[in-house]
A and B are shown apart, each in its own frame.
Chain A
Amino acid sequence: MTITIHDLRKLPGSYMPGSAACPGCGATLAFRLVSRALGPNTVYIVPACCFSVIQAPYPKSAISAPLYNIAFAAAAATASGVHRAYKAVNKDVNVVVWAGDGGTVDIGIQALSGAAERKEDLIYVCYDNEAYMNTGIQRSGATPLKAWTKTTPTGKREMPKDMPMILAAHRVPYVATASVGYPFDLVNKFEKAKNIRGFKYIHILSPCPPGWDFPVEKTAEVGKLAVDTYFWPLYEIEGGKLKITVKPRKRPLKEFIRLQGRFRTITDEEIDELEKIVMEKWQFLEHLEKSERVF
């Protein structure tokens, strides 16, 4: 089944307006959409991240689904425990980790890798705003090359980890990338994931106006341009087989980069270099799409 805008409007979500999120928050938009696709039989495990704050302070919460906040490194392990307890009492529930990029690619990578290797029946979601935003914009292992953060004041010197491919190398049944700029692609990946048994990993690019320094109204546009400039390719790997799910609209990388203050110091030559890296990755994906299995 493919979810359309009409279906989506009818589905109940688990986000209640009036949270502590910044205006134009991509992570919040992602959660809103994902919670509709997953439906009410879902519990969320959230490690330390912006989303711990977005919920708003005790005794109120902006999230109308069961949600457990846990220590930064622990989300995938805690979710494993939740899932196994339900299994022990024959309850079938979507157990979902909702984690930031730091909680996923850095401090939480060990527990995540362990849960993936054990084939726990979970959906692990990384909403990626490409830095530690909760603590005020420091670099993470997902921050792009050349991006400014408060701990990379002259731009990051390293490439980000390719987390979806790291997960794919665990040979889990489902891995996908998504962007809030392509909401139907995003919700349909969740619709698919919730019907697959075993470990599912979905990595959502979630633009962050204060952290990336772009005008608040551009969240959707930045999320779209990331895909259309090949910066953030959308694909899924189901049972080892890779499929590109959205064909980019072939925009120059410059359009994506120049929209954001975090790339302010980047020169045109550096953008060309970056574009080369991005296109190499794209060609690699196209190549992978032709093979029987990626891993």
Chain B
Amino acid sequence: MGKEGKWEIITGNHAAAIAAKLSRVKVVPAYPITPQTTIVEYIASFIDSGQMDAEYIRVESEHSAMAAAIGASAAGVRTFTATASQGLLLMSEVLHWAAGSRLPIGMAVVNRAVGPPWNIHVDHQDTMSQRDTGWIQIYVSSNQEVLDTILMMYKVAENPDVLLPFMVCLDGFVLSHTYMPVNIPPQEEVDVFLPPYNPTHWKLDPTSPITFGNLALPDEYQEMRWSMDLAMRRALDIIEDVTEEFFERFGRYHGGAVWKYKLQESDYAVVTMGTMASEAEVAVDELREEGIDVGLLKIRSFRPFPHRDISETLIDKRGVIVIDRSIAFSSGGPIGTEIRSSLYNLADRPPVVNYVTGLGGRDITHQDIIAMVKDAIGRITSRRIRRPYYWFKLKPEFERIEISEEVRL
């Protein structure tokens, strides 16, 4: 382990901005949106005060923010931006373009509900709707994890076997605006861990007359998408390697693609992401005190999705409780759907109970998680899992409608 870092009590957004500075990004296109805004404000102040040597582009929209990030990364420099909610949705077209161009751009996404109605609080609908853009998506649950993950993910994304952009997703307000102690590693240590970006796959260079992205016919296109998928799958091992290396250098480990808590030999597993995982950790401890044998599997990497690790970890469980903070209308929670697909082809697979909850910032405490786990165990033991997913924490009058829907089935 190298030199000690410095402790500071800071918000998740401040941690993200410091991570961009420590990563020595060269270009930052920026556009404000709550609850992301303070990230780009911190970066503006770092640059203006000379603490950070980067070009700051005050673009006129998020579509342009991502388009400019693409241009900068294509020209061969490390690039960072940040957004949330509507901003991420506006970027959608160019998110695909960034990934298809194999540009390892880094972005902090502060998760926020999408409108209408306007709502600035956390849920995962924004990033879930962009899950198939070819971006790596890592969900975190502490401010330290925000900072560390951005440093780690540049290293993963720039790996010659990966070359895909990444978003680090942090829950709006719960992390973005909440002060927590964060250890800030020394720049020299980060410089050794994360060397300068030096693309060799391609770049836009006046001395190299190539054309990027002209028409590809059906005979050529499919393999390009296959190549992105392969890189995404290979990123899983690289994430594990990089988190190990990070642990050796900085002494912190937040998990690789997943993080497991008291999962070994537990009967039941709770699966969730983001700050709900922190609540779930407390819930696991309390349930265990009550004699209910449950562990937690926190998904950090939703893309790439760690199917193998998940199926190997969950196969011996009596039941799996998946808690989603977004809704794929009429289909369920996106994590629930993925977990089922990890397990489906295995013999003796455990039943999966999926809850959709916490939308638009509805608070989900460890008590709520305990309630979901108990409800799920009841359904599992009495074989009453009638539906692919259940809504949780609806107001009572709407809960009644849900129950009557269940009876109608």
- B1 in the interface (beta carbon within 8 A): no
Which of B54, B72, B97, B220 has the largest number of chain A CB atoms within 10 A? B72
- A249 in the interface (beta carbon within 8 A): no
* Chain B residues in 8 Å Cβ range of A14: 209
* Chain B residues in 8 Å Cβ range of A79: 71
Stretch at the interface among A86-94, A137-145, A212-220, A282-290: A86-94
Asked whether, in the complex, the Cβ of B213 is within 8 Å of the Cβ of A69, the reply is yes
Flag B31-74 by CB within 8 Å of A: 1 or 0 each. Answer: 00000000000000000000001110111110111011111111
Asked whether, in the complex, the Cβ of B206 is within 8 Å of the Cβ of A66, the reply is yes
Flag B67-93 by CB within 8 Å of A: 1 or 0 each. Answer: 111111111110100000000000001
- B208 in the interface (beta carbon within 8 A): yes
Asked whether, in the complex, the Cβ of A111 is within 8 Å of the Cβ of B61, the reply is yes
Given A85-B55, A88-B54, does the pair A66, B94 have CB atoms closer than 8 Å?
no
Label chain B's interface by main secondary structure: mixed
Interface residues in B, total, Cβ within 8 A: 43
Closest to A40 in B: B206
Asked whether, in the complex, the Cβ of A71 is within 8 Å of the Cβ of B206, the reply is no
Interface residues of B in 181-225 (CB under 8 A from A): 204-206, 208-217, 220
Smallest beta-carbon distance A158→chain B, Å: 25
Given A70-B213, A71-B97, A81-B69, does the pair A111, B74 have CB atoms closer than 8 Å?
no
Asked whether, in the complex, the Cβ of A84 is within 8 Å of the Cβ of B211, the reply is no
Contacting residue for A69 out of B71, B208, B214, CB 8 A: B214
Asked whether, in the complex, the Cβ of A78 is within 8 Å of the Cβ of B71, the reply is yes
Smallest beta-carbon distance B197→chain A, Å: 11
* Chain A residues in 8 Å Cβ range of B77: 85, 88-89
Asked whether, in the complex, the Cβ of A84 is within 8 Å of the Cβ of B63, the reply is no
- B120 in the interface (beta carbon within 8 A): no
Interface residues of A in 56-101 (CB under 8 A from B): 56-59, 61, 63-71, 73-89, 91, 93
Asked whether, in the complex, the Cβ of A85 is within 8 Å of the Cβ of B76, the reply is yes
* Chain A residues in 8 Å Cβ range of B53: 88
Q: How many inter-chain contacts with C-beta < 8 Å in the A-B complex?
A: 164
* Chain A residues in 8 Å Cβ range of B57: 80-81, 84, 118
* Chain B residues in 8 Å Cβ range of A82: 71-72, 74-75, 204
Asked whether, in the complex, the Cβ of A52 is within 8 Å of the Cβ of B206, the reply is no
Smallest beta-carbon distance B92→chain A, Å: 10
Given A55-B215, A74-B67, does the pair A68, B204 have CB atoms closer than 8 Å?
yes
- B296 in the interface (beta carbon within 8 A): no
Smallest beta-carbon distance A133→chain B, Å: 15
Flag A94-136 by CB within 8 Å of B: 1 or 0 each. Answer: 0000000000000000110110011000000000000000000
Smallest beta-carbon distance A284→chain B, Å: 29
Asked whether, in the complex, the Cβ of A77 is within 8 Å of the Cβ of B64, the reply is yes
- A41 in the interface (beta carbon within 8 A): yes
Closest to B54 in A: A88
* Chain B residues in 8 Å Cβ range of A45: 71
Asked whether, in the complex, the Cβ of A81 is within 8 Å of the Cβ of B29, the reply is yes
Contacting residue for A114 out of B64, B69, B93, B210, CB 8 A: B64
Asked whether, in the complex, the Cβ of A77 is within 8 Å of the Cβ of B206, the reply is no
* Chain B residues in 8 Å Cβ range of A69: 211-214
- B27 in the interface (beta carbon within 8 A): yes
Given A66-B204, A66-B206, A74-B67, does the pair A88, B214 have CB atoms closer than 8 Å?
no
- B298 in the interface (beta carbon within 8 A): no
* Chain A residues in 8 Å Cβ range of B215: 52-53, 55-58
Which of A53, A68, A81, A110 has the largest number of chain B CB atoms within 10 A? A81
Closest to A91 in B: B206
* Chain B residues in 8 Å Cβ range of A65: 209
* Chain A residues in 8 Å Cβ range of B67: 70-71, 73-75, 77-78, 81, 111
Whole-angstrom distance between the alpha carbons of A230 and B77 in the complex?
47
- A42 in the interface (beta carbon within 8 A): yes
- A43 in the interface (beta carbon within 8 A): yes
Asked whether, in the complex, the Cβ of A68 is within 8 Å of the Cβ of B213, the reply is yes
Flag B9-28 by CB within 8 Å of A: 1 or 0 each. Answer: 00000000000000000110
* Chain A residues in 8 Å Cβ range of B71: 45, 68, 70, 77-85
Whole-angstrom distance between the alpha carbons of A40 and B93 in the complex?
31
Which of A14, A43, A66 has the largest number of chain B CB atoms within 10 A? A66
Smallest beta-carbon distance A19→chain B, Å: 11
Whole-angstrom distance between the alpha carbons of A232 and B57 in the complex?
35
Asked whether, in the complex, the Cβ of A84 is within 8 Å of the Cβ of B68, the reply is yes
Closest to A120 in B: B57
Given A64-B209, A85-B27, A86-B75, does the pair A80, B214 have CB atoms closer than 8 Å?
no
Asked whether, in the complex, the Cβ of B213 is within 8 Å of the Cβ of A81, the reply is no
Whole-angstrom distance between the alpha carbons of A45 and B58 in the complex?
20
Interface residues of B in 295-320 (CB under 8 A from A): none
Asked whether, in the complex, the Cβ of B72 is within 8 Å of the Cβ of A81, the reply is yes
Smallest beta-carbon distance A278→chain B, Å: 33
Asked whether, in the complex, the Cβ of A55 is within 8 Å of the Cβ of B27, the reply is no
* Chain B residues in 8 Å Cβ range of A118: 57-58
Whole-angstrom distance between the alpha carbons of A40 and B211 in the complex?
14
Closest to B210 in A: A66
Which of A14, A55, A64, A80 has the largest number of chain B CB atoms within 10 A? A80
Whole-angstrom distance between the alpha carbons of A180 and B72 in the complex?
32
Asked whether, in the complex, the Cβ of B60 is within 8 Å of the Cβ of A84, the reply is no
Asked whether, in the complex, the Cβ of B214 is within 8 Å of the Cβ of A61, the reply is yes
Smallest beta-carbon distance A26→chain B, Å: 20
Asked whether, in the complex, the Cβ of B58 is within 8 Å of the Cβ of A55, the reply is no
* Chain B residues in 8 Å Cβ range of A111: 59-61, 63-64, 67
Interface residues of A in 159-201 (CB under 8 A from B): none
29 A-B interface contacts by CB (under 8 A): A14-B209, A41-B206, A56-B215, A57-B215, A58-B217, A61-B214, A66-B206, A66-B210, A68-B213, A69-B214, A71-B67, A73-B63, A73-B93, A74-B97, A77-B29, A78-B68, A78-B71, A80-B29, A84-B68, A84-B71, A85-B75, A86-B75, A87-B55, A89-B77, A111-B59, A111-B61, A111-B64, A113-B60, A118-B58
What is A's interface to B at a CB cutoff of 8 Å? 14, 40-43, 45, 52-53, 55-59, 61, 63-71, 73-89, 91, 93, 110-111, 113-114, 117-118
Q: Closest 4 A-B residue pairs measured CB to CB?
A: A81-B71, A114-B60, A81-B68, A77-B64
